Amino acid sequence: MRQSWIAVGIATLSATLVAIVGPETPEAAVRGGATTEAAKCSTGNHVAQAVSVAPEVTVGGKSRWKFLKPGDWLRTDEHGIVKLCLQQHRTSCQIGPNSSLRILPPGEASLVRFKFADILCAQHNTVVDAKHDHHGYFLPLDATEPAARRATTFAGAAATAVSGDPVFSIRIRKGQGIVKVVRGSAVIDTAGDTTRAVVMGRNQQVVLTAAAEPGQPTKIKRLSKTEKAVFAQLQKSLPKDSDHTPPAIEISGPHETSVKSATFVIESPKEPAVFSCAFDDSKDFRLCSSPFQVDRLLTGAHVLHVRATDAAGNTSDTPYPVNYDGSRIAFESFRHGNPELYTVDPDGENVRRLTMDVLPNLISDEHPDWSGDRSRIAFDRLVGNNLDIWTINANGGGDQRVTTDPAPDRNPTWSPDGTLIAFERGSIGSREIFVIKPDGTGERQLTRDNTDDLDPAWSPDSRRIVFASAREGGLDIYVMNADGTGVTRLTSDPTAEFGPSWSRLGKIAFHGARSGRPYKNIYVMDPDGQNLRAVTQTEANDYYPSWAPDGVHIVFYSDRDKSTKEQLYVLDVETGVQNQITPGAADPTADLTQASFVPDW
């Protein structure tokens, strides 16, 4: 069996509780059909006070009025109506016939049990900034629990649940509880599990059953005559319910992501407000807080639905679409001996080997690069003494040779539109950049000088190429048109800078040891060389960044883990969060201490 809580007010627990109890309760009954009058919280150090026009109510077996103290019981028979005032939380309640309640001390982890109860309450709050820590008012609800259960405290995300002068009722009958909120807001959770809590607003109800999480809030179906009369009476002592403006919702986060998790910042300019979220299933809203993170995304389109409920009980809904592209990272590794090609998910899961040294005299497969439609991968393959450009299916197989020149061809990069592959040709010290069609035709040379031009990478529109060149001394980053014209220098640091990658959002990343630093780190700049900044600053070497399709994440390899050789890392450029993703899961056929490097996303 599960136990549910209604939290009216700011949800942290160190508060007086009212518990509904079973038939073995100590005798304390209303007799003779006595009537009652409204009770206001009085001054003093009591926990609670009950008031009636005549002394027909017995408390703790004594037929006289007194201040209720922790441990005292109240019970009404079929004629009974009792007005109860909890001073600590400025809460006035009417207890209906055939109900039993016990006053519990503040902060007690209480044992509760009951059969039935009708409670109609109003709470007078001073709405305060939700960033501060405040107490709330809680009623444990469990209509069918056969044995005593220890109530648990609840804090965390619900600490922002704020209610402004709520008016609510609780009815327990035949194993079912119904909570109705006619004014203000409330949070309902199951056995202290805030992850499945729901948030209620004005004129909403929630149904609670044993061994089940709270149902979704729905519009109140009906109010009985008694409920209408008592609610009207209770609201007379409260300020006018004049705020009927729904809270606006502001969501920031990715619409496109290349990783399996996404974080969203949720805000409302109308404070205080509490949020509930539903991911994909817009009907299942549960209490949430900001920042809100979703993990283990499946490939494809999703929608985050956010509902805001303000102190007055007004609600509003906002959808926020997000798409996980399911892209994988290609890399090379020595884990099976010679350098071979692999792919892996951005969280390091599902490593897949693509090449397996099946050709005679095959020595290495290196420098993988995805095609624009991600159906194939270009790479350079060394067979005997011939280093040429090849392509392969994304899942392996379908090997096709692209270049056949006797000179070494290496480091291919596929244009985003899929029409050309750029690569470098020649020996170290005299490499030049060429382009060729994927079928091996239309080869053209783009650079012509007597030093190294290397590491080509395409712009998102396939109209320009960024590359590294030593044409003016040390290696720096340059950009040129796709036909080789319009060469422009972007960096001029005395140290070598190379391995550029161009994001779909227009940023260029590269690695180098700038300003005399002893280690190579990753840098990002605009395509005109402006706004250059370091995005890694470790006392280790970080190499060859490659942008994710979302333009926010970068994969690179680094020697920072001294317990192994170079491994792959994923960086969120906006937050700076970095995660190592290789060597990956255990593989009895592989030596996972070997390096993984030169990735492409």
- List, for residues 462-485, the tens digit of each pLDDT value: 999 999 999 998 899 999 999 999
Pick the CATH number of 329-600 from 2.60.120.620, 2.120.10.30, 3.40.50.150, 3.90.550.10: 2.120.10.30
Whether the predicted pLDDT of 381 surpasses 50:
yes
Whether the predicted pLDDT of 44 surpasses 70:
no
User: Per the structure block, which two tokens stand in for 232?
Assistant: 């009207």
Cβ atoms of 350 and 587 closer than 8 Å = no
Query: DSSP string covering 498-525, please?
Result: EEEEE-TTS-EEEEE-GGG-SS-EEEEE
Whether the predicted pLDDT of 40 surpasses 90:
no
Looking at residue 226, the DSSP 8-state letter turns out to be H
Higher pLDDT, 1 or 85: 85
Cβ atoms of 300 and 323 closer than 8 Å = yes
Cβ atoms of 331 and 368 closer than 8 Å = yes
Whether the predicted pLDDT of 147 surpasses 50:
no
Looking at the chain, how many residues does it have? 601
Local confidence band at 90 (pLDDT 50, 70, 90 cut-offs): low
Local confidence band at 396 (pLDDT 50, 70, 90 cut-offs): very high
Distance, CA of 301 to CA of 256 (rounded, Å): 9
Whose CA is closest to 319, among 287, 279, 286, 288? 279
Long-range contact list for 575-580, CB < 8 A, 24+ apart?
A: 576/535, 578/536, 579/347, 579/348, 580/348
Question: Mean pLDDT throughout 139-143?
Answer: 38
Q: Which of 120-129, 219-228, 374-383 has the lowest mean pLDDT?
A: 120-129
Q: Which residues pair with 511 in a beta bridge?
A: 498, 522
Averaged confidence pLDDT in the chain: 78
Question: Residues near 152 by Cβ (< 8 Å), separated by ≥ 6?
Answer: 109, 191, 192
Read off the pLDDT of residues 230-248 as tens digits, 9 standing for 90 and up.
888 888 878 888 889 999 9
Residue 160: helix, strand or coil by DSSP?
helix
Whether the predicted pLDDT of 15 surpasses 50:
no
Read off the pLDDT of residues 123-136 as tens digits, 9 standing for 90 and up.
765 443 333 222 33
CA distances for 430 relative to 433, 484, 503, 585, angstroms:
10, 17, 28, 41
Model-level pTM?
0.79
Question: Residues near 145 by Cβ (< 8 Å), separated by ≥ 6?
Answer: 1, 3, 112, 113, 210
Phi, psi of 127 (to 5 degrees): -70, 130
Question: Mean pLDDT throughout 498-526?
Answer: 94
Higher pLDDT, 377 or 7: 377
The confidence score (pLDDT) of residue 375 equals 97
User: Per the structure block, which two tokens stand in for 192?
Assistant: 């202290």
The confidence score (pLDDT) of residue 220 equals 95
Distance, CA of 369 to CA of 329 (rounded, Å): 9
The confidence score (pLDDT) of residue 5 equals 46
The confidence score (pLDDT) of residue 139 equals 43
Domain chopping of the chain, boundaries: 4-235, 250-309, 329-600
Question: Mean pLDDT throughout 329-358?
Answer: 93
Question: Mean pLDDT throughout 50-57?
Answer: 31
Q: Which of 35-39, 208-212, 309-313 has the lowest mean pLDDT?
A: 35-39
Whose CA is closest to 330, among 373, 381, 394? 394
Highest mean pLDDT: which range of 62-66, 107-111, 240-244: 240-244
The confidence score (pLDDT) of residue 515 equals 76
Local confidence band at 419 (pLDDT 50, 70, 90 cut-offs): very high
Distance, CA of 341 to CA of 429 (rounded, Å): 26
Higher pLDDT, 38 or 418: 418
Q: Which residues pair with 113 in a beta bridge?
A: 21
Question: Residues near 311 by Cβ (< 8 Å), separated by ≥ 6?
Answer: 125, 127, 162, 163, 164, 184, 185, 243, 272, 273
Q: What percentage of the chain reaches a pLDDT higher than 70? A: 73
Question: Mean pLDDT throughout 514-540?
Answer: 93
CA distances for 399 relative to 65, 370, 394, 425, angstroms:
92, 14, 10, 21
Whose CA is closest to 92, among 250, 238, 284? 238
Whether the predicted pLDDT of 79 surpasses 50:
yes
Whether the predicted pLDDT of 1 surpasses 60:
no
Distance, CA of 96 to CA of 333 (rounded, Å): 74
Higher pLDDT, 209 or 6: 209
Residue 491: helix, strand or coil by DSSP?
coil
Higher pLDDT, 78 or 309: 309
The confidence score (pLDDT) of residue 211 equals 60
User: Per the structure block, which two tokens stand in for 7?
Assistant: 């939290």
The confidence score (pLDDT) of residue 88 equals 44
Q: Which of 281-295, 325-339, 430-444 has the lowest mean pLDDT?
A: 281-295
User: Per the structure block, which two tokens stand in for 396?
Assistant: 């392996």
Whether the predicted pLDDT of 335 surpasses 80:
yes
Higher pLDDT, 408 or 115: 408
The confidence score (pLDDT) of residue 292 equals 94
Long-range contact list for 214-220, CB < 8 A, 24+ apart?
A: 214/4, 214/188, 214/189, 214/190, 216/283, 216/284, 216/285, 217/285, 220/180, 220/182
Residue 222: Cβ within 10 Å count: 8
Read off the pLDDT of residues 154-206 as tens digits, 9 standing for 90 and up.
222 222 233 467 888 887 766 677 889 998 888 887 655 677 888 899 999 98
Q: Over the Cα atoms of the chain, what is R_g?
A: 34
